[in-house]
């Protein structure tokens, strides 16, 4: 249950701005993973890693998130991940992986490009805003961009199928097919342009025509 993480996000969203005075500066603490961004996405990313015992170093620019994180057992350093000196101080060049979990697409791409140039051997994983951003991130050297709404949207689609009477096996099969089609379409877009692979999408216009006859 990620209740405490959700509570943390709610509390951060409702607090007034805090001073940066006294917030911990980034340091290379030997963590296996450097996480850049401790918002609603980054918070959830930490959970499976910590459950498996992996050490994380976390940086964020939001004093509220950093201060509130302490109440939930997290240590978050204050630092801007778009700055090379901050990334170096946080141990990016010694990490087994770097995760970019911030919600600003442009900043995320800049960080990825910087890491590719300065730490080319370190795998970089990143949150992407949408398909276009995923393509940008891959070209910037990101290992596996994850679209922030894709899996949650599929989960809702699966819930709707069950509500409409589909059995679990059929739901799982359908979602797997959608994932595969999406991956194939993305590969075509990466090699071509954003309009490539449109035939792999299922539209509702044809269905409307069929039903009207």
What is the per-residue pLDDT across 103-143, written as a single tens digit (0 to 9) for each?
999 999 999 999 999 999 999 999 999 999 999 999 999 98
Give the number of C-alpha atoms closer than 13 A to the C-alpha of residue 115, restricted to the C-beta side.
Answer: 36
Full DSSP string of 38-100? -SHHHHHHHHHHHHTT--EEEEES-HHHHHHHHTTT--EEE--TTSHHHHHHTTGGG-SEEEE
Q: Is the predicted pLDDT of residue 204 greater than 90, yes or no?
A: no
Query: Residue 144 has what DSSP assignment?
Result: E
Q: Give the rounded percent of residues in the chain with a pLDDT score beyond 90.
A: 75
pLDDT digits (tens, 9 = 90+) for 88-98: 999 999 999 99
Contacts for 22 with CB less than 8 Å, ≥ 6 apart: none
Residue 213: what pLDDT? 41
Question: What class, spelled out in words, does domain 1-148 have in CATH?
Answer: alpha beta
State the pTM of this model.
0.83
33: helix, strand or coil: strand
pLDDT number for residue 211:
43
pLDDT digits (tens, 9 = 90+) for 176-197: 999 999 999 999 999 998 899 8
Instruction: From 23, 28, 124, 30, select the one nearest 79 (Cα to Cα).
Output: 23
Cross-strand bridge partners of residue 126: 100, 145
Between 213 and 133, the more confident residue is 133
The tokens of 123 are what?
């795998």
**What is the reported pLDDT for 13?**
54
């Amino acid at each position: 249950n990620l209740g405490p993480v959700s509570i943390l996000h709610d509390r951060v969203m409702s607090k007034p701005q805090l001073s940066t005075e006294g917030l911990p500066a980034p340091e290379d603490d030997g963590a296996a993973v450097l996480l850049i961004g401790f918002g609603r996405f980054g918070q959830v990313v930490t959970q499976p890693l910590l459950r498996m015992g992996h050490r994380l170093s976390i940086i964020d620019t939001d004093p509220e998130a950093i201060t509130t994180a302490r109440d939930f057992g997290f240590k978050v350093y204050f630092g801007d991940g778009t700055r090379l000196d901050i990334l170096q101080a946080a141990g990016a060049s010694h990490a087994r992986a770097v995760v970019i979990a911030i919600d600003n697409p442009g900043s995320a791409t800049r960080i990825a490009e910087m890491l590719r140039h300065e730490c080319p051997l370190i795998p970089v994983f990143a949150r992407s805003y949408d398909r276009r951003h995923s393509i940008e991130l891959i070209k910037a050297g990101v290992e596996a961009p994850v679209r922030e709404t894709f899996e949650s949207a599929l989960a809702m689609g699966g819930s709707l199928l069950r509500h409409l009477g589909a059995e679990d096996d059929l739901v799982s099969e359908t979602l797997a097919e959608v994932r595969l089609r999406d991956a194939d379409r993305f590969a075509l877009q990466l090699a071509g342009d954003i309009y490539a692979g449109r035939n792999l999408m299922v539209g509702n216009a044809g269905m409307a025509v069929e039903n009207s006859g």
